Amino acid sequence: MDSAYLLVIDNSPDHAQVTSSFLRNAGLAVRVVSASNTNEMEDVLKEKSPFLILVGTQIPPTIKIGQIMQLADQYSIPTAMQVEPADTAHIESAIAVHPLMIINAEEDDQLMHVVKQNMSGGRTAREFNELTRKLDELTHRYDLLLDSARDSIAYIHEGLHVYANRAYLELLKVNSLEDIEGTSLLELMTPEEGVNLKKLLRDMNQDIFPADSLAVTINTPGNNQLKADLIFSAARFNGEQCIQMAVHEQDMNRVLQEELERLRKTDQLTKLINRQTFTDRLSRAIEETRDSKHRSAVLYVEIDGMSELQQHLGMENIDFCVMDLANIITGCTLKTDVPARFSDHGFAILIQRDEKSALRETGDSIIENYSNHIIDLGDRTITASCSIGMATIGKLTQSADEVISHARTAFIQASQKGGSMVRFKPALTTVHSGETERDWVERIRYALNNHDFYTVQQSIVDLEGENEGLFENRTFMREEEGDTHAAEFMQAAERHDLGGMIDRHVIPQLMLAIAGTGDKHIISLSNNSILDFSFPHWFGRMLNETEVVGSQIILQISGISAETNLKPTRRVIDELTDLGCSFVLSEFDNDRRTIQLLDHLPVNMVKLRPGLAKGLSANTANQEIIRAVVRAIESKDIIIIADEVEDASDLAVLWQCGVKLVTGDFLNEAPQVVGQ
């Protein structure tokens, strides 16, 4: 089911989160997004298609109510405005542009009623728009395929032509449908003796079609005759029942036809397939890769310094260089690889291997062999080098154009050095500037495709000396310089529904490492997995496949996530507790709402908010917070964990406060890495 989005416009950053928490606690599966200016609002309207715009009591100073209403009218989105009982300041200017609903900001029931009412209508509108879009796309594709088909095809209604594709018009040697629109099929076609074409057409109008093809002589408008076989079938055109007629010439040379097809797909200089054929093959390979365990990639290859070579060698000699590179590529690739001439001087190669390292070996082989190759130009010989850009293909790869674009981007980097190969890796250029998350999302998708996530395991120590073999696991994303911790990328991942995919990538590797050890491990769950109804079933299947006992797993849920999604969190806990799993709430402190979670969620542990245990000996305020947490759980069978403990001198303070389990850099242990 598509996500239902609610757009909140309010100057308070907490308003959207409070609204989300209220609706989800009420059992409504609503995704709340916010905007503080017209650009953000328009982006949400384009990408999310929210079912309702909710204007809060505090309109941001960067956006006017008239602008909100104009955008709502432009995208046909219903609008509701929350007002204080005595506040009518913005209502008049709002209703002058767009009808809207007025909600008493102090009446939650009114908000609930409006959201419920518009959710169903919004879902219906989205489904209708999606079906309409798909129908228009299918109609366009069908018309395009029909018009570009090699077979001659026409649609006949009551004996007259209502449509003819390009091949049919070329067969009759006419310029357009208008030239034959008023011509009856009976005038054009002369069947074999004994066949009544008029009766045949009458029968087909009653859905009685001949089982075999009909041999006829076609009398073209240019007074030419040709022998052909007609194949009839039922069809609809512009909503009317009609007859589809396919025409196959009897005297067409099949060998010639096959040769023409080969020429259409082949580059004549190198005899490799051409760009369009390669793109089609790549599109099919991307679909097949989604269910494949092999590693696939596209290599984009060009000769270095081509501009200078063209100036000194001339076009004919450049062709010799290109042909030599094509021969090198053919000699360095397998029969199952798909090399193509992609541009005047560039080649693209689709390769598939069992191991990721083998993908690079193919590129290295091409570079080495071409640099060592002597190019014979008749009156002289030269040597040249080539550079390669590589883009890998994975389950999240979207299209052939995307892969090719990535490979060419990597080639540009490689060509700056020359004689080298660069693997495409998205650069996080705008993530930290706050302009957009596009680079962030692309980097996460790339990491999922290329297995760039791994987990570091760290021991958790019992201050009372009872060591049960307990570990926590922290996920990182591999980078060229300084790997990225989950705290930096997980929020962006969850906002784009990638958090659950990261969980499903990391957890099986962890389970394989845990199996048979008897140790207990804390594994973090993303908010996406908590909201995913299929996650508990998948998790149970992973336990069975890896033969891990449920009691070895302690699933970690963020206190903030649990507060926002209380019912889904309770559902996950209830379902996985039956498998023997335990639960820990992280980011825990003495906040009243956080402590109240323990009345609703049967967890076994809580982990203190990051930073509380740092420099604790000299921080009496944090000591008091920890003591408050200890007092809050005294009546419950819950254990407290303090992580990020850097100084061993803080251990005595933690123990005096009532903390039992600790972990951090003070251990000075070599962390265990899983999935590296």
With the CA atoms of 92, 94, 98 and 104 taken in that order, what torsion angle do they form, in degrees rounded to the nearest 10?
A: -90
Query: Which tens digits make up the pLDDT trace of 437-450?
Result: 677 788 888 888 87
Quick one: 149-252 is in which CATH superfamily?
PAS domain (3.30.450.20)
Q: What is the topology classification, in CATH, of domain 4-129?
A: Rossmann fold (3.40.50)
What pLDDT was estimated at residue 306? 84
CATH 3.40.50.2300 intervals, the chain:
4-129
Residue type at position 420: S
Residue 611 has pLDDT above 70, yes or no: yes
Q: Which residue has the higher pLDDT, 515 or 249?
A: 515
Query: Which tens digits make up the pLDDT trace of 100-151?
Result: 788 888 888 888 888 888 886 656 666 666 677 777 777 777 777 777 777 8
Q: What are phi and psi of 36, to 5 degrees?
A: -120, 0
Q: Which residue has the higher pLDDT, 153 or 648?
A: 153
pLDDT, average across residues 468-484? 83
Q: What is the 3-state secondary structure (H, E, C) of 75-90?
A: CCCCEEEEECCCCCCC
What pLDDT was estimated at residue 256? 63
Q: Is 38 exposed, middle or buried (0-12, 13-18, 19+ CB in 10 A)?
A: middle
Structural contact between residues 34 and 10, judged by C-beta atoms closer than 8 angstroms: yes
Could you tell me what percent of the chain has a pLDDT over 90? Answer: 19
What pLDDT was estimated at residue 467? 66
Q: What are phi and psi of 614, to 5 degrees?
A: -80, 130
Q: What is the topology classification, in CATH, of domain 265-423?
A: Alpha-Beta Plaits (3.30.70)
Query: Which tens digits make up the pLDDT trace of 628-648?
Result: 888 888 888 899 998 888 777
Query: Which tens digits make up the pLDDT trace of 44-101?
Result: 888 888 889 999 888 888 888 888 888 888 888 888 988 876 665 566 655 665 677 8
Could you tell me what percent of the chain has a pLDDT over 70? Answer: 91
What pLDDT was estimated at residue 545? 92
What pLDDT was estimated at residue 431? 45
Enter the CATH code of domain 438-674. 3.20.20.450
Q: Which helix (H) or strand (E) element contains residue 148?
A: helix 108-148
Query: Which tens digits make up the pLDDT trace of 540-594?
Result: 999 999 999 999 999 999 988 898 889 999 999 999 999 999 999 998 988 888 8
Residue 221 has pLDDT above 50, yes or no: yes
Mean pLDDT in the chain? Answer: 84
CATH 3.30.450.20 intervals, the chain:
149-252
pLDDT, average across residues 242-246? 90
Q: Which residue has the higher pLDDT, 357 or 470?
A: 470
Q: Which residue has the higher pLDDT, 116 or 293?
A: 116
What pLDDT was estimated at residue 585? 93
CATH 3.20.20.450 intervals, the chain:
438-674
Residue 661 has pLDDT above 70, yes or no: yes
What pLDDT was estimated at residue 95? 60
Residue 475 has pLDDT above 70, yes or no: yes
Whole-model pTM? 0.48
What pLDDT was estimated at residue 1? 44
CATH 3.30.70.270 intervals, the chain:
265-423
Tell me which residue of 260, 423, 279 sits closest to 342, measured CA to CA.
Answer: 279
* Confidence band for 255, pLDDT divided at 50, 70 and 90: low
* Confidence band for 539, pLDDT divided at 50, 70 and 90: very high
Write the DSSP string, 504-543. Answer: HHHHHHHHHHHTTT--EEEEE--HHHHH-TTHHHHHHHHH
